[in-house]
Structure 1
């Protein structure tokens, strides 16, 4: 069964309603796909006429009825503790859950599927909850981890996509970042060229500032002059009629 599956029986709800006294009976519905196919201790108690509702009404030999709902649930748990095998336990109602009103809490039922080997040893096989008459399976730790990791990866992917448009790369200086907001999807060619030229000038300035006067070789001086000449040529080309008209056509 998928963890996103659910089960509801409108006929049962319309006829008997749903409350803590019959929540286990509702979960043991023959059509409920979540219930085990094995015979459970709950069914053994049902054949003996023992249920939360009957315990509240008639009580037990040591505690005659009528009993309160809390006392009836306690006696039902004691009766389950005397048996072994697969069982369904109705967990106590939490006193307070953040974001839920008392009315919403009263419509929430948590059922734990266990395999009992003794009165004190049980192994949890699954947890289910009933909300507004609909039975759901509680997600596993693995499922929760997968969901958290998927959301984290999605956030990281969106962050990388947002940062990728700010990255600039130059073979001589490597990567740099420009975080200025850009209202248009396509950047202006002149802005890109001036940005690249300014970055190269800063790169050359950093290299030259770290040298003492007279330490630059002729090859370095020649490279600087050639780079400045290329910058001037690119600047003139970006303002030429061919580039401007081509840009307007696109």
Structure 2
């Protein structure tokens, strides 16, 4: 459980006072708030902020920096943390998205693949359990499958039959009966049955 709390993919951050004022020009300042756990205080953006210099100077520096990668105003902003080696060479480190004022870390490829594989294995495991419930063994016949016409095992069919019997046992209320009668009457008025010819 502690692993989930420490994993940045499971946390989010927001500052309610800022949310109405977030736009393309202010989103990097919002992301650079002191209480944001995703923001690295040793980055070049912070250095330029202390010097009251323009963020245009980032490309002349080396080290960690944050840039605004994508904008879909007024709700979505994507911020990239990257390491700048030179004016033309950068290595992306992490992407963050600001969605309706909430900041989240975007999952990396490893996390996405791991989640998809875990989900696929879970569904495969359930399928094998279901198939295993249909297998039968008899000493003289060996293994066989026990399906009925609907593709259900006899045990599953008994369970579904019990459930349908419970549903059948529930009495119909007077309101339901009157409503059904009214609907049938309306349908008969719209689509009268054909008259038999003699």
Q: What is the TM-score of this pair, normalised by structure 1?
A: 0.54
How many residues are paired up? 148
Q: What is the match of residue 112 of structure 1?
A: 80
Q: What is the match of residue 62 of structure 2?
A: 84
Q: What is the match of residue 29 of structure 1?
A: 33
CA offsets, 1:166-215, max 9 Å, x none? 111133443221222332049xxxxxxxxxxxxxxxxxxxxxxxxxxxxx
- Structure 1 segment 53-68 matched on structure 2, within 5 A: none
CA distance in 2, matches of 1:28, 1:84: 19
CA distance in 2, matches of 1:92, 1:169: 60
CA offsets, 1:222-250, max 9 Å, x none? xxxxxxxxxxxxxxxxxxxxxxxxxxxxx
Q: What is the match of residue 42 of structure 1?
A: 45
CA offsets, 1:133-165, max 9 Å, x none? 000011122211221111111111211122122
Q: RMSD between aligned alpha carbons?
A: 2.3
Which portions of structure 1, spanning 4 or more consecutive aligned residues, are displaced by more than 4 angstroms?
none
Question: Where does structure 1 lack aligned partners over 5 or more consecutive residues?
Answer: 52-75, 95-104, 187-250
Question: Where does structure 2 lack aligned partners over 5 or more consecutive residues?
Answer: 1-5, 161-198
Structure with bigger strand share is 2
Larger Rg: 1
Q: What is the match of residue 143 of structure 1?
A: 111
CA distance in 2, matches of 1:109, 1:136: 11
Q: What is the match of residue 12 of structure 1?
A: 18
